[in-house]
């Protein structure tokens, strides 16, 4: 066979082989019919968008935070004192400020990071009011009806003298001799359908001849016209504080 004809046939065979291999390669790379398109190549923006957000930071736990835990603690403490039948001024720390300091000591045993007045240094209601004011935890009540919804379990209630009115009182007025005379701690409140506080229960050392414990005669609408709203009988509600005072750095 002549060389030119041989070369021509070889070239033709090589061309056929090359085309066949190309067809096989293209067929293997082609996606199957009706298959979804390949996912796009991730970019920095898409990766950040797909990254789940970090979990929210939870608040630090607070010992006996206001609510059910505090109310249950105050109720249990009150029941224990009531069962002991401690008469007013019958033993150390058995008047109203003394019973309050007993409660403070009980809470302190459970919540050592909170601060409370020292019973060896602060022993009467006016001094206790001044102590809370020094902690920036003291509110003077100028309008009891407007302030009633601030009353809740754990509120420290301060009252003036019997049948004395305290309009526009200042801290100096309340810690004077004729200022704060009585105090106690709210253990629970009763509200109406609109959330307005109708009445509350108060734990306190009461008065001569009565045992320490809870009373419930502290109403928004009082039984006598001469009784001030949310007061203790004829003692006006003059100030309030919050039982749980955070310590430094809390």
Distance CA 185, CA 99 (A): 10
Q: Residue 167 domain-assigned? A: yes
- Beta-bridged to residue 197, according to DSSP, are 191
State yes or no: pLDDT of 55 exceeds 60: no
Q: Residue 206 domain-assigned? A: yes
**In the block, which residue shows the tokens 């400020």?**
97
SS3 101: helix
Predicted pLDDT at 36: 57
Write down the pTM of the prediction. 0.75
Report how far apart, in Å, the C-alpha atoms of 85 and of each of 103, 199, 202 are. Answer: 16, 25, 16
Predicted pLDDT at 54: 52
Residue 127 domain boundaries:
68-246
Q: Residue 96 domain-assigned? A: yes
More confident residue, 145 or 35: 145
More confident residue, 20 or 175: 175
Predicted pLDDT at 207: 94
Q: Residue 35 domain-assigned? A: no
Q: Residue 12 domain-assigned? A: no
Q: Are strands 155-162 and 182-191 parallel, antiparallel or unpaired?
A: antiparallel
Q: Could you report the per-residue pLDDT of 124-178, keeping only the tens digit for each? A: 999 999 999 999 999 999 999 999 999 999 999 999 999 999 999 999 999 999 9
Q: Residue 211 domain-assigned? A: yes
Distance CA 213, CA 236 (A): 20
- % of the chain at pLDDT higher than 90: 68
Q: Residue 28 domain-assigned? A: no
Number of domains in the chain: 1
Q: Which of 29-38, 150-159, 184-193 has the lowest mean pLDDT?
A: 29-38
207: CB partners within 8 A, 6+ apart: 88
Mean pLDDT of the residues in the chain: 84
Residue among 149, 127, 140, 148 at smallest CA distance from 170: 140
Q: Which of 30-39, 94-103, 203-212, 224-233 has the lowest mean pLDDT?
A: 30-39
Q: Could you report the per-residue pLDDT of 70-89, keeping only the tens digit for each? A: 999 999 999 999 999 999 99
134: CB partners within 8 A, 6+ apart: none
Q: Residue 172 domain-assigned? A: yes
Max Cα–Cα distance, the chain, nearest Å? 141
């Amino acid at each position: 066979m002549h060389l030119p004809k041989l070369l021509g046939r070889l070239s033709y065979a090589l061309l056929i082989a090359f085309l066949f291999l190309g067809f096989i390669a293209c067929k293997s790379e082609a996606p199957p019919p009706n298959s979804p398109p390949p996912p796009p190549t991730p970019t920095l923006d898409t990766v950040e968008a797909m990254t789940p957000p970090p979990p929210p930071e939870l608040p630090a736990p607070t010992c006996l935070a206001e609510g059910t835990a505090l109310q249950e603690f105050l109720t249990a403490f009150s029941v224990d004192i009531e069962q002991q039948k401690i008469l007013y001024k019958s033993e150390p720390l058995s008047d109203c400020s003394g019973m309050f300091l007993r409660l403070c000591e009980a809470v302190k045993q459970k919540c050592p990071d909170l601060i409370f007045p020292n019973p060896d240094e602060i022993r009467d209601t006016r001094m206790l009011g001044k102590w809370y004011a020094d902690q920036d935890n003291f509110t003077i009540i100028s309008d009891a009806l407007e302030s009633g919804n601030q009353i809740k379990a754990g509120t420290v209630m301060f009252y003036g003298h019997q049948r004395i009115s305290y309009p526009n009182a200042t801290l100096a007025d309340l810690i004077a001799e004729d200022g704060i005379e009585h105090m106690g701690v709210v253990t629970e409140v009763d509200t109406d359908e609109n959330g307005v506080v109708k009445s509350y229960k108060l734990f306190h050392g009461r008065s001569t001849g009565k045992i320490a414990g809870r009373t419930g005669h502290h109403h928004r609408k009082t039984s006598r016209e001469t009784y001030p709203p949310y007061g203790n009988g004829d003692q006006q509600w003059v100030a309030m504080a919050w039982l749980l005072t955070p310590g430094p750095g809390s």
